[in-house]
């Protein structure tokens, strides 16, 4: 009977890595929750980084290890939505219409917000009600539009993502996304955001499918 040689795997660093990642998520989450509570109570512009760090029982230096600014505390909550939207669009069946594929992509982000409704509503209200935050959100959306346009160009077999059709379709889909967030926020989360998304896409589907041809 042949005995297989025992190989030593470098697993000793994995628990440390996992522990570090877990600690980072915990600290980031605590700073975020503390900041959101202060922003809601006092208004975004009235709260300083020093106050956030003190309320969380941490130093200002620790705060800046996790966030570049107090704006990032709010916008970070939505940071991964664009990547998720593009990934969902890329995963849709190629035979789907442009409108249907984009509806699924946008709904994946809307559902992600709805899954954390309490925090998401606070974040959306802060973003839409604070000019500096809204400007940062629009900057992110501009990048999301470029990413979605690039994916649409692949789906539509177009030579460039900067062509009119993919950019127009991506921009329209993101307009739906922002309008749904606004309506959801204005209604205090009472209306199902997925249902809002479906209604909005039903209204713009003819235009999106025309763009996709």
Give 157's DSSP letter. T
How far apart, in whole angstroms, are the C-alpha atoms of residue 199 and residue 194? Answer: 9
Of 50, 67, 84, which residue constitutes the final position of a domain?
Answer: 67
How far apart, in whole angstroms, are the C-alpha atoms of residue 153 and residue 161? Answer: 5
- Has residue 192 been placed in a domain? yes
Q: Are 95 and 184 contained in the same domain? A: yes
The pLDDT tens digits for 85-129 are: 999 999 999 899 999 999 999 999 898 888 878 888 888 888 888
In 3D space, the residue among 110, 105, 99 whose CA is nearest the CA of residue 202 turns out to be 99
How far apart, in whole angstroms, are the C-alpha atoms of residue 209 and residue 105? Answer: 15
The pLDDT tens digits for 135-160 are: 888 888 899 999 999 999 998 888 87
Q: Are 83 and 112 contained in the same domain? A: yes
Q: Are 121 and 187 contained in the same domain? A: yes
Q: Are 81 and 60 contained in the same domain? A: no
Structural domain boundaries enclosing 44 = 17-67
- Has residue 110 been placed in a domain? yes
How far, in Å, are 75, 119, 183, 190 from residue 67 at the CA level?
10, 18, 29, 32
Supply the pTM of this predicted model: 0.77
The reported pLDDT for the residue numbered 2 is 44
Q: Are 123 and 181 contained in the same domain? A: yes
Which CATH number belongs to the domain containing residue 35 in this structure? 1.10.10.60
Q: Are 122 and 189 contained in the same domain? A: yes
How far apart, in whole angstroms, are the C-alpha atoms of residue 158 and residue 155? Answer: 8
- Has residue 161 been placed in a domain? yes
Three-class SS state of 158? coil
Number of domains, the chain: 2
Q: Are 92 and 141 contained in the same domain? A: yes
Q: Are 29 and 86 contained in the same domain? A: no
């Amino acid at each position: 009977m042949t005995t297989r040689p025992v190989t030593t795997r470098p697993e000793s660093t994995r628990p440390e890595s996992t522990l570090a990642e877990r600690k980072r998520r915990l600290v980031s989450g605590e700073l975020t929750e503390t900041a959101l509570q202060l922003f809601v109570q006092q208004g975004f512009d009235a709260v300083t980084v020093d106050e956030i760090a003190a309320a969380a029982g941490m130093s200002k230096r620790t705060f800046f290890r996790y966030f570049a600014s107090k704006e990032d505390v709010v916008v970070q909550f939505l940071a991964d939505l664009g990547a998720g939207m593009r990934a969902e669009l890329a995963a849709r069946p190629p035979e789907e219409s442009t409108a249907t594929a984009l509806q699924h992509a946008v709904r994946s982000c809307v559902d992600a917000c709805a899954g954390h409704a309490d925090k998401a509503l606070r974040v959306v209200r802060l973003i839409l009600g604070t000019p500096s935050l809204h400007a940062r959100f629009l900057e992110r959306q501009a990048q999301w539009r470029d990413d979605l346009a690039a994916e649409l160009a692949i789906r539509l077999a177009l030579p460039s993502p900067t062509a009119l059709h993919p950019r127009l379709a991506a921009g329209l889909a993101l307009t739906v996304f922002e309008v749904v967030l606004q309506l959801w926020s204005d209604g205090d989360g009472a209306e199902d955001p997925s249902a809002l998304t479906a209604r909005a896409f039903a209204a713009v589907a003819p235009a999106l499918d025309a763009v996709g041809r």
